[in-house]
Structure 1
Amino acid sequence: MDTQSRPEHAPHRYFTREEWASLRADTPLTLDEDDLARLRSLNDPISISDVISIYLPLSRLLSLYVAATQGLYNATRTFLGSAEGKTPFIIGIGGSVAVGKSTTARVLRALLTRWPNTPKVALITTDGFLYPNAVLEREGLMERKGFPESYDLPALLDFLSDIKAGAEKASAPVYSHLVYDIVPNERVIIDRPDILIVEGLNVLQAPRLPRDGKAVPFVSDFFDFSIYIDAAEADIHRWYVNRFQRLRETAFRDPNSYFHRYAMISDEDALAIAERLWSRINLVNLRDNILPTRPRADLILRKGHRHLIEEVALRRI
């Protein structure tokens, strides 16, 4: 997303890392190195410097958005004469595989939970709404896992609708990265959070609109704020392959891992598999489904080749 590629009347305002860092104001640093070690994903070199420069200004911005949105909800309830409780603020985080969505989501959750008013902040990934492998295999979609058609969209929309309605206990399926599948008969319960973070590849995806004008809800319709983690295609490719190689040394060595077989083969064969998985599945999904959603985000965090956020784009209001 270089300067020359931006339209003259861009809907986003762009900030360098230094310009964005200056917007922190007096937002306190509430995380330390030990916290960050627990929150950091494999192969993601996020540091305290990144938290100070990028995430503290973002935390400040979100506190303003949450307060303003809750004011709008209260005004609407007053207008309707409704006695309904507080409506949760939902943040969506999208972007490619290996770009750092999970780290961003966990760091944000930790920071937001430690605001002075200590809000209740929940985090969920859309992995839980993937169809079970048995369904994907039956439908010939195993190599489309992570593509929009591999998700149980009605179930995800029902879940988000329950959250927005203030349901006492909204539940979602549980996904295991170890076995690469939905865990049967296991659910995670989200009980009326003040803020919910929803992280996933295609959370900003817009379905094709029908010509008859029928209502077609988008997942992003439920978001109060959305974030896209961006990076150059070549960098994401490299990070994906590096992560695959690191996983061969860690998670894949577990005999229960769906990918355990990849820990047992030669480095050369493993590299060939990683390249094939990237080119046949993840690159196609990025180009066809994920990257086109980038302009829909309220905030774009652009990473450089070292995996560090170098530019921030904030949608104009």
Structure 2
Amino acid sequence: MDSSDLTGLTARARRLALTGKRRILGIAGPPGAGKSTLAGQLADALGPLAALVPMDGFHLARAELERLGRATRKGAPDTFDAAGYAALLRRLRSPEPGTVVYAPAFDRALEEPVAGSVPVAPDVALVITEGNYLLHAQDGWAPVRGLLDEVWFLELDRDVRVRRLVDRHVRFGKPRADAERWVAGSDESNAHLVDRGRDLADLVVRLGSGARS
């Protein structure tokens, strides 16, 4: 994505923010497509108009994944609290004067969600949320699409995306061989699920090879 693309996307997000009421913009796409990077760039460009609330804050904790027998599938649709995420979106859609809403975040160094990490003030015009399953229709995710005013779907060349995913896992502590196995198995399985929701997006954004994950 070059600077002109980012300028156009920022202008589109700004128009959404200036409608006079709280709006929520979703950025979806497969693992490693560049969702968090684009969402962060938009939030930075919009400044006090926007707040960034990642879906990843609703990962189930490691202990709960182990209890459920899902730890080896971390990142799959049923390893998140989808109902909790939808409940937060409903609350964000109707801001209360004087009330700050606190959303969770995900700490990649800890590989755990952290509650109360992201403050969203009532006067924020646009909430930007990003994650894999905003357009997913199963495993409790179906209500999410209707809670988002607009959703963009990001696409990135698969080879580039896989390479960047492996590098990201290595950066956060996985041996490269383990990272490659995880990406080939869990991450790519999830990517196929995410791709099924592409046609439900309002906009498909094709990212160039220079995009970061």
Tell me by how many angstroms 1:303 deviates.
2.5
CA deviation vs aligned residue, 1:195-234 (integer Å, no higher than 9, x gap):
100011112212379xxxxxx9521211111111102323
Mapping of residues 192-207 of structure 1, within 5 Å: 192=122, 193-207=124-138
The percent of aligned pairs where both chains have the same amino acid is 27
Could you say what secondary structure the match of 2:92 adopts? helix
**Which residue in the other structure is 1:127 paired with?**
56
Mapped pair 1:181 → 2:115: no
Mapped pair 1:275 → 2:180: yes
CA deviation vs aligned residue, 1:290-313 (integer Å, no higher than 9, x gap):
111111111111134x2359xxxx
Amino acid at match of 2:11: R
Mapped pair 1:92 → 2:21: no
Give the Cα–Cα distance (whole angstroms) in 2 for the partners of residues 94 and 272 of structure 1: 28
CA contact (8 A) 1:163 1:170 kept: yes
Unaligned runs of 5+ in 2: none
Could you say what secondary structure the match of 2:65 adopts? helix
> CA 1:133/1:195 → structure 2, altered by over 3 Å: closer, same or farther?
same
Q: TM-score, normalised by structure 1?
A: 0.60
Q: TM-score, normalised by structure 2?
A: 0.87
CA deviation vs aligned residue, 1:132-187 (integer Å, no higher than 9, x gap):
1111110011122222111111211111111111132222223211110123x644
Give the Cα–Cα distance (whole angstroms) in 2 for the partners of residues 64 and 235 of structure 1: 31
Mapped pair 1:227 → 2:144: no
Match of 2:70 among 136, 141, 144: 141
Give the Cα–Cα distance (whole angstroms) in 2 for the partners of residues 163 and 55 of structure 1: 26
> CA 1:244/1:217 → structure 2, altered by over 3 Å: closer, same or farther?
closer
Greater relative CO (CA pairs within 8 A, separation 6+): 2
Match of 1:299 among 197, 203, 209: 203
Unaligned runs of 5+ in 1: 1-45, 71-85, 114-118, 210-215, 253-258, 263-269, 310-317
Give the Cα–Cα distance (whole angstroms) in 1 for the partners of residues 26 and 167 of structure 2: 26
> CA 1:120/1:281 → structure 2, altered by over 3 Å: closer, same or farther?
same
**Which residue in the other structure is 1:54 paired with?**
5
Give the Cα–Cα distance (whole angstroms) in 2 for the partners of residues 147 and 208 of structure 1: 10
CA contact (8 A) 1:160 1:222 kept: yes
CA contact (8 A) 2:31 2:190 kept: no
> CA 1:59/1:229 → structure 2, altered by over 3 Å: closer, same or farther?
same
Count residues with an aligned counterpart: 209
Give the Cα–Cα distance (whole angstroms) in 2 for the partners of residues 90 and 194 of structure 1: 9
Structure with the greater alpha carbon radius of gyration: 1
Tell me by how many angstroms 1:97 deviates.
2.0
Tell me by how many angstroms 1:241 deviates.
2.3
Give the Cα–Cα distance (whole angstroms) in 2 for the partners of residues 217 and 131 of structure 1: 18
Give the Cα–Cα distance (whole angstroms) in 2 for the partners of residues 131 and 219 of structure 1: 18
CA RMSD of the aligned region, Å?
2.4
Tell me by how many angstroms 1:282 deviates.
0.2
